[in-house]
Amino acid sequence: MTPASRALARVRRIVPDGFPWQAASWPASIERAAPERGLGVDYDTSWSRRYPVRLARAVLLDHMATPAVRALATPRVVGAEVLDGLDPPAIFVANHASHLDTALILSVLPPPMRHRTVVAAAADHFFDRRMKAHLWSFCLAAIPIERHRVNRRSAELAAGLLEEGWNLVIFPEGGRTPDGWQQEFRGGAAYLSVRTGRPMVPVHLDRTWRLLPKGGRRIRRAGVQVTFGLPILAAPGEDARRLSARVEQAVAVLGDESASDWWSARRRHAAGATPSARGPDWSSWRRAWELTSPSRDHPSRSGGAATGPPSGDLRWALTRQRKPSGA
Amino acid sequence: MKALVFERSLPRFAAARVAHVLGSSSRAASLGPLRLVDTDPPELPADGWVHVRPLVSGICGSDLATIEGASSRYFEPMVSFPFIPGHEVVGVLEDVAKPDDRSPALTAGSRVVLEPVLGCAARGIEPPCSPCARGETGSCQNLAFGHLSPGLQTGFCADTGGGWSTGTLVAHLSQLHEVPASMSDEEAVMVEPAACALHAVLGAGIAPGSQVAVLGAGTLGLLVVAAIRQVCDPSSLLVGARYHHQRVMALELGADQALEPEELARALRRRSRSMLLGVDLTGGADVVIDCVASSDSIRSCLAMVRPRGRVVLLGMPAKQTLDLTPLWHREISLSGAYAYGTENVGDGRRRTFELAMELTRSARLGRLVSARYPIDRFEEAIAHAASAGRRGSVKVVFDLAARPPRSSKGRSA
Amino acid sequence: MSPRPGFVLEVERSTPPTLFWHGEGFRLERLPAGRSRVIYAPEPARALEDPRAAIRHALDHPLGDSEPLRAYLRPGMRLTVAFDDVSLPLPPMQAPDVRQLVIEEVLELAAEAGVDDVVLIAALALHRRMTDAELLHALGRRVYDSFSPAGRLLQHDAEDASNLVHLGCTDEGEDVEISKRAATSDLIVYVNINLVAMDGGHKSVATGLASYRSIRHHHNPDTMRRSRSFMDMHHSELHSSNWRMGRLIAASGIRVFQIETTLNNDTFPDSFGFLQRREWEWSLRDRASFLASSSALERLPASLSRSIFHSIRSPHAMSSVQAGEVEAVHARTLENVYAQQLVEVEGQSDVLTMGLPYICPYNVNSIMNPVLVACLGLGYFFNLYRGKPLVREGGVVIMSHPTRSEFHPGHHPSYIDFFEHVLAESTDPVEVAKHEEAYATDPWYVHLYRTAHAYHGVHPFYMWYWCAHALDHLSAVIVVGGERDAVRRLGFRPASTLSDALEMASDVVGPSPTITHMRTPPLLLAGVI
Q: Does C420 touch chain B if contact means CB atoms closer than 8 Å?
A: yes
Selected from 1.10.3720.10, 3.40.1010.10, 2.60.410.10, 3.40.50.11440, the CATH number assigned to the domain covering C51-263 reads 3.40.50.11440
Cβ-based neighbours of C127, under 8 Å, separated by 6 or more: C85, C86, C87, C362, C455, C456, C459
User: Under DSSP, is residue C218 helix (H, G, I), strand (E, B) or coil?
Assistant: coil
Residue A15 lies in a domain: no
Phi, then psi, of C233 in degrees rounded to 5: -60, -20
CA atoms within 13 A on the CB side of A9: 7
Q: Confidence band (pLDDT; 50, 70, 90) for B406? A: very low
Average pLDDT over residues C57-66: 94
Q: Between A156 and C30, whose confidence is greater? A: C30
Nearest residue of A to residue C287 by CA position? A20
* Contact with chain B for residue C4, Cβ under 8 A: no
Supply the pLDDT for residue A322: 36
| Contact residues on chain B for C417, CB-CB shorter than 8 A | 266-267, 270
d(CA C252, CA B289): 58
pLDDT of residue C106: 94
> pLDDT: is A213 or C484 the higher one?
C484
CATH number of the CATH domain containing A146: 3.40.1130.10
Sequence ranges of the domains in chain B: 2-189+364-399, 199-341
CB contact under 8 A, C14 and A175: yes
C156-170 pLDDT, tens per residue? 999 999 999 999 999
Mind telling me how many Å the CA of C285 is from chain B's nearest CA? 47
Say if residues B259 and B240 touch (Cβ distance below 8 Å): yes
Residue A40 — very low, low, confident or very high, per pLDDT cuts 50/70/90? confident
How far CA C401 is from CA of A205, C301, C384, C504, in Å, comes to 44, 16, 18, 17
Count CA atoms closer than 13 A to B12's CA, side-chain side.
Answer: 14
Right CATH for C7-44+342-528 from 3.30.479.30, 3.20.20.70, 1.20.1250.20, 3.90.226.30:
3.90.226.30
Confidence band for A282, pLDDT divided at 50, 70 and 90: low
Question: What's the pLDDT band for C21 if we cut at 50, 70, 90?
Answer: very high
pLDDT confidence of residue A304: 34
Task: Please answer yes or no on whether C447 and B270 come within 8 Å at the CB atom.
Answer: no
CB count within 10 Å of CB B387 equals 15
Which parts of C280-361 fold into alpha helices (H)? 284-299, 302-310, 326-341
Can you give the residue ranges of every domain in chain C?
7-44+342-528, 51-263
Q: Cβ separation of C279 and A183 shorter than 8 Å?
A: no
Q: Is the pLDDT of residue C80 over 80?
A: yes
For chain A, the 3-state helix, strand and coil shares in percent, each to the nearest 5, are 50, 10, 40
- Does C444 touch chain B if contact means CB atoms closer than 8 Å? yes
* Cβ <8 Å between A284 and C32: yes
Q: Please name the residue of chain C whose CA is at the shortest distance from the CA of residue A285.
A: C499
Of A26, A179, A283, the CB nearest to C280: A26
* A257: confidence class by pLDDT, cuts 50, 70, 90: confident
Out of C17, C278, C499, name the one closest to residue A19 (CB): C17
**Residue C515 forms beta bridges with which residues?**
C36, C351
User: Which residue of C1, C7, C10, C14 to mutate against A (max A Cβ within 10 Å)?
Assistant: C14
Q: In angstroms, what separates the C-alpha of A209 from chain C's closest C-alpha?
A: 16
What φ, ψ does residue A49 adopt, rounded to 5°?
Answer: -110, 10
Determine, yes or no, domain membership for A229: yes
Q: Give the strand pairing for B395-399 and B369-373.
A: parallel
Q: With 0-12 CB in 10 A as exposed, 13-18 as middle and 19+ as buried, what is C112?
A: exposed
Q: Which amino acid is at C117?
A: D
Chain A residue at shortest CA distance from C15: A27
* Cβ <8 Å between B266 and C417: yes
Closest chain A residue by Cα to residue C284: A23
Instruction: Kindly list the distances between the CA atom of residue B91 and the CA atoms of A158, B168, B361, B381, C501, in Å, as whole numbers in the listed order.
Output: 102, 9, 18, 20, 57
Residue A2 confidence class, pLDDT cut points 50, 70, 90:
low
Distance CA B121, CA B98 (A): 15
User: What percentage of chain C carries pLDDT values higher than 90?
Assistant: 88
Interface mutation target, options C420, C448, C488, chain B, most CBs of B under 10 Å? C420
pLDDT of residue A9: 67
Tell me the three state secondary structure of residue B164.
coil
Query: Comparing B31-35, B126-130, B329-333, C292-296, which segment has the lowest mean pLDDT?
Result: B31-35
Euclidean distance between CA atoms A326 and C374, whole angstroms: 34
Q: Is C282 on the interface with A (CB under 8 A)?
A: yes
pLDDT at position B314 is: 92
Q: What is the pLDDT of residues A159-168, one digit of tens each?
A: 888 888 899 9
How confident is residue B120, by pLDDT bands cut at 50, 70 and 90?
Answer: very high
3-state secondary structure of C47: coil
| Residues of A whose CB is below 8 A from C32 | 283-284
What pLDDT score does A21 carry? 82
Assess if residue A70 is contained within a domain. yes
Amino acid at C262: T
Strands C391-400 and C18-21: unpaired
- The pLDDT of residue A1: 52
pLDDT at C509: 94
Evaluate whether residue A316 is within a structural domain: no
pLDDT attached to residue A281:
65
Q: Are the beta carbons of B263 and C442 separated by less than 8 Å?
A: no
Top-ranked range on mean pLDDT: pick from B69-73, B403-407, C11-15: C11-15
Q: How many domains does chain A have?
A: 1
The two domains C7-44+342-528 and C51-263 share their CATH topology (first three levels equal): no
Q: Do chains B and A touch (3 or more CB pairs under 8 A)?
A: no
B265 touches chain C (CB under 8 A): no
Give the model confidence (pLDDT) of C419-471 as tens digits. 999 999 999 999 999 999 999 999 999 999 999 999 999 999 999 999 999 99
pLDDT tens digits, C95-114? 899 999 999 999 999 999 99
Q: Which of A115-124, A219-228, C36-45 has the lowest mean pLDDT?
A: A219-228
Q: Mean pLDDT throughout B374-398? A: 92
Q: Rounded distance, CA B159 to CA B176, Å?
A: 17
Residue A287 pLDDT: 65
CA distance C284 to C287: 5
> Where are the alpha helices (H) located in chain A, listed in sequence order?
3-14, 51-60, 66-73, 81-84, 100-108, 111-115, 123-126, 130-140, 152-163, 188-196, 208-211, 240-259, 262-270, 284-291, 311-326
Q: Which residues pair with C93 in a beta bridge?
A: C314
Of the candidate ranges A75-89, B181-195, B252-266, the one whose mean pLDDT is the lowest: A75-89
> B265-306: per-residue pLDDT in tens?
999 999 999 999 989 999 899 999 999 989 999 999 999 999
Q: Do the strands A200-206 and A225-228 form a parallel or antiparallel pair, or are they unpaired? A: antiparallel
Q: Is the pLDDT of residue B258 over 60?
A: yes
Report the pLDDT value the prediction gives residue B280, as an integer from 0 to 100. Answer: 92
| Residue B362 near residue B226 (C-beta atoms within 8 A) | no
What's the pLDDT at B240? 96
Query: Count of B–C CB contacts within 8 Å?
Result: 24
Q: How far apart are CA B241 and CA B224, in angstroms?
A: 13
Instruction: Compute the average pLDDT of residues C133-155.
Output: 92
Range B199-341: architecture per CATH: 3-Layer(aba) Sandwich (3.40)
Residues B54-60, mean pLDDT to the nearest whole number = 95
Is residue A315 over pLDDT 50? Answer: no
Check CB contact of C325 with chain B, cutoff 8 Å. Answer: no
Cα–Cα distance, A183 to B97 (Å, whole number): 95
> Is residue C52 predicted with pLDDT exceeding 90?
yes
Q: Is the pLDDT of residue C144 over 80?
A: yes
Give contacts of B270 with chain C, Cβ < 8 Å: 417, 421, 438, 442
Interface partners of C (3+ CB pairs, < 8 Å)? A, B
Judge whether B263 is closer than 8 Å to chain C, CB to CB: yes
Residues C213, C436 contacting (CB under 8 angstroms): no
The counts of H helices and E strands in chain A are 15, 7
Q: Specify whether the CB–CB gap between B351 and B194 falls below 8 A.
A: no
What percent of chain B clears pLDDT 70, i.e. is strictly above it? 94
**% of chain C surpassing 70 pLDDT:** 100
Write down the architecture of domain B2-189+364-399 according to CATH.
Answer: Alpha-Beta Complex (3.90)
User: 3-state SS of C105-154?
Assistant: HHHHHHHHHCCCEEEEEEECCCCCCCCHHHHHHHHHHHHHHHHCCCCCEE
Q: How many CB atoms lie within 10 A of CB A293?
A: 11
Comparing alpha-carbon positions, the chain C residue that sits nearest to A184 is C13
Contacts with B269 from chain C: Cβ below 8 Å: 444
Which residues from chain C sit within 8 angstroms of residue A20, using beta carbons?
28, 279, 282, 287, 290-291
Helix, strand, coil share of chain C (percent; to 5): 40, 20, 40
Q: What's the confidence (pLDDT) of residue A80?
A: 81
- State the pLDDT confidence band at A326, using cuts at 50, 70 and 90: very low
Shortest CB distance from C442 goes to which of B259, B267, B273? B273
* Best B236, B238, B248, B270 residue to mutate vs chain C (most C CBs within 10 Å): B270
Query: Which residues in chain B touch residue C421, judged by CB atoms under 8 angstroms apart?
Result: 266-267, 270
Summarised one tens digit per residue, pLDDT across range C206-257 is: 999 999 999 999 999 999 999 988 999 999 999 999 999 999 999 999 999 9
Confidence of residue B407 (pLDDT cuts 50, 70, 90): very low
pLDDT band at C19 (very low <50, low <70, confident <90, very high): very high
Whole-prediction pTM: 0.76
> How many C-beta atoms surround the C-beta of residue B337 within 10 A?
23
Q: Is A112 exposed, middle or buried (0-12, 13-18, 19+ CB in 10 A)?
A: exposed
C421 touches chain B (CB under 8 A): yes
User: For C280, which of A25, A283, A284 is closest by C-beta distance?
Assistant: A25
Q: What is the mean pLDDT of residues B295-322?
A: 92
pLDDT digits (tens, 9 = 90+) for C353-372: 999 999 999 999 999 999 99
For residues C451-478, one letter each, b for 16 or more C-beta atoms within 10 angstroms of the residue's C-beta and e for the rest, the string is eebbbbbbbbbbbbbbbbbbbebbebbb
Q: Are C176 and C248 in contact (CB under 8 A)?
A: yes
pLDDT for position B319: 86
Residue of chain A whose Cα is closest to the Cα of C290: A20
Write down the number of H helices and E strands in chain B: 14, 19
C347: left (phi over 0), alpha (psi -120 to 50) or beta: left
Which of A144-153, B173-182, C319-328, C405-414 has the lowest average pLDDT?
A144-153
Residue B316 and residue B293 in contact, taking contact as beta carbons nearer than 8 Å: yes
Mean of pLDDT over chain B: 89
CA–CA dist B403, B166 (Å, integer): 10
Q: Tell me what the pLDDT averaged over chain C comes to.
A: 93
Query: What would the mean pLDDT of C508-523 be, rounded to a whole number?
Result: 93
Distance separating alpha carbons of residues C516 and C396, to the nearest angstrom? 11
Contact C14 A284 (CB under 8 A): no
User: Contact C447/B275, CB-based, under 8 Å?
Assistant: yes
pLDDT of residue A323: 36
Of C32, C280, C512, the CB nearest to A30: C280
Q: Read off φ and ψ for residue C166, nearest 5 degrees.
A: -90, 120
SS3 of chain B: helix, strand, coil, percent, to 5: 35, 25, 45
Closest to C363 measured CA to CA, from C91, C37, C69: C91
Residue A50 has pLDDT above 80, yes or no: yes
Residue B263 to residue C420, Cβ atoms within 8 A: yes
Residue C129 has pLDDT above 90, yes or no: yes
Min distance C513 CA to chain A CA atoms (Å): 12
Q: Are strands B49-58 and B89-93 parallel, antiparallel or unpaired?
A: antiparallel
Which pLDDT value is given to residue C339? 92
Please give the average per-residue pLDDT across A28-49, as a whole number: 75
Q: Given an 8 Å threshold on Cβ–Cβ distance, is B270 in contact with C416?
A: no
| pLDDT on residue A213 | 67
